[in-house]
Amino acid sequence: MKNQIRLLFLTVLVFLLSLTAISAQQKFYVDLNDRADDLFKVTLVPEKLTEQNKIYQFASTAPGTYQTMDIGRFVRSFRAYDENGNELDSKQISTNQWELEEPAKTKKIIYTVAETWDNPVQEHQIYPMCGTSLEKDHALINGQCVFGYFHGMQKTPIKIKLDYPKEWTAGTALSLDKDGFYDAPDYDYIVDSPILLGNLTKATTKIENTSVDVYTYSKTGKVSSDQLMTLLEDILTATSQFTQGLPVNRYTFLFHFENFSAGAWEHNLSSEYVFNESPLEGNVAKEIKSVAAHEFFHVITPLNIHSELVGNFNFEKPTMSQHIWLYEGVTEWASDILQLRDYLISLDDYLADMKTKLIINDNYDPTISLVDLSLHSTERQDQYGNIYMKGAVVGCLLDIRLLELSKGKKGLREVLNQLYKDYGANKAFSEKDFFNDFVNRTYPEISDFINKYIKGTEKLPVAEYFGKLGIEYKELVGVDSSKISLGFGIGMKDNKFIVTRVENQVPDGIRTLDFITKVNGEEVTLQNAQAKFAFMKNMKVGDSFVLTIERNGEQKEIKCSMEPRTIKHQFKVLDDASEQQLELRSAWMKNL
């Protein structure tokens, strides 16, 4: 039996090595026909390894995720072989690294890596849209979760051959060569190109000069690519008006619809979405359009406007950019304003969304600046969500300020469009000097704005700036005694519930950064939270309950009472706005 296995092994090896005409130094073969054990089975055939390449690296994280991934945690086996099929010594030397004892003799590596969706970890849970799934009727591959690279070979060509059921469809921005391999110039490109396979629908169209493909997995067939394309065409057209033409000649949307929503992840030529499977109506359609507008705008920032930390990403020991406020916050601003300017949403819709962002912002720590949040995004995941809220509000205020200084001639849109033309996908701006560059392109007064609201934590001048547009804003309007409020905000940190803000601080009361461990004496966890907090829906103002909190390592019971709902963040478009206000509002509501 042993000799028969060895003969079979050599036969397969000879076949793989016969494909030497392929000019890639790393060739991957992935068997997606065997999906029973939730493991991706990967065969890697390297070329010309030296001592410099003895470390095989799995990703610590990936661009645009701003979270720790440590994909090595999902690797279940790793073995190296010589040209005769003899196993060579290899060992795991860190969470994400395996070392080859004899790299020059290594002609094949076989490893298995678990899918992330069905293999939860205790900490640093991987966002579903950034992870992997392997099921009976489909598979999702994000490159950093399945593939790695040898040290010294991150920038060398890669080819990938996927074996999968013949009835499946594959959707990706990657291109197939004549031999059926997906071709990529380097590892970064593989990470930048997710692959969705399975029982998919497909729709194709052309927006101006850009070819657009939509691939969709819908578990019960409720959602089709044709339906989605109808929604996306409006967003793409609005984006083109905003960016003065789409900056890519092709783009691929990958949609996964099943039993939960998680969001989306952007890439240079594609984006990937995970949503609950529901008919594309009402708020569902609105949410998908909003998310797609955000993700597609990433073709501008950070994909065409980024610092060297993004352009030369370190998958082993990444350093976060201080400009995530730009990559995510300004992108969120753009995704909203471009819909307003192309009449996809009304001014009331836009202001309602601004109100929501300000309400959510209230639940985050106001002492963390956008720059600090950017730099420490991986370790401050409990606060990171505010980059989309406060970051978008700051983008809006910056746009208004630029329009005011230029007398309606140049806003944030015009600055971004010039930046992406001056830089682009292959030219990074200086991480250190970008703020100076931005000020030099605009006005000296913008330096003060940056210091106060992006680098600093001064209270955002929402009322002052919207007042310039003839739109009244009130942060605090009053209270509604018919509706209840906890009087404090709850967030997540280290998989525990934490108090993020307290509206009315009282002695011996609940405080910011308290951990909530029990409700009315019963332990509360991520799994049972919905049930444990459900009783609050039937409470009235003045009704009380008891929370057990953890503060400085000690447990303490605190009696809390329901408070009347505070009415906050109200916008009103003034009927008697001045001519100057109306002129600035007119410039703000259109693409110049």
| Sequence ranges of the chain with CATH classification 2.60.40.3650 | 2-199
Comparing CA positions, the residue from 464, 471, 462, 474 lying closest to residue 577 is: 471
Q: What is the DSSP string of 392-430?
A: HHHHHHHHHHHHHHTTSS--HHHHHHHHHHHS-TT-PBP
Q: Residue 166: left if φ>0, alpha if ψ -120 to 50, beta else—which one?
A: alpha
3.30.450.40, 3.30.70.1560, 1.10.10.10, 2.60.40.3650: which CATH number matches 2-199? 2.60.40.3650
User: One digit per residue, pLDDT tens: the chain, 592 residues?
Assistant: 333 333 334 344 433 433 333 346 799 999 999 998 999 999 999 999 999 999 999 999 998 888 899 999 999 999 999 999 999 999 999 999 999 999 999 999 999 999 999 998 888 889 999 999 999 999 999 999 999 999 999 999 999 999 999 999 999 999 999 999 999 999 999 999 999 999 999 999 999 899 999 999 999 999 999 999 999 999 999 999 999 999 899 999 999 999 988 889 989 899 999 999 999 999 899 999 999 999 999 999 888 899 998 878 878 887 889 999 999 999 999 999 999 999 999 999 999 999 999 988 988 889 999 999 999 988 887 788 899 999 999 999 999 999 999 999 999 999 999 999 999 888 999 999 999 999 999 999 999 999 999 999 999 999 999 999 999 999 988 887 777 888 887 877 766 788 877 877 777 788 888 899 999 999 988 668 778 888 888 888 888 999 999 988 899 999 988 888 788 999 999 999 999 999 999 999 999 9
Topology, domain 487-561: Pdz3 Domain (2.30.42)
pTM of the model: 0.82
What is the H or E stretch that residue 464 is in?
Answer: helix 462-467
Class of domain 204-292: alpha beta
- The token duo for 525 is 């966890």
Task: Identify which of 198, 217, 205 has the alpha carbon closest to the alpha carbon of residue 251.
Answer: 205
CATH number of 300-473+575-592: 1.10.390.10
Distances (CA, A) of 460 to 47, 320, 404, 407: 56, 25, 17, 22
The CATH 2.30.42.10 domain(s) of the chain lie at 487-561
Residue extent(s) of CATH 1.10.390.10 domains in the chain = 300-473+575-592
- The secondary structure of residue 352, as a DSSP letter, is H
Ranges of CATH 3.30.2010 domains, the chain = 204-292
User: CB-based contacts of 556: which residues, under 8 Å, 6+ apart?
Assistant: 548, 549, 550
| 339 vs 322: CA distance, rounded Å | 28
Instruction: Beginning with the edge strand found earlier in the chain, give each strand of the sheet holding 270-276 in spatial order.
Output: 201-207, 210-218, 250-258, 270-276, 263-266
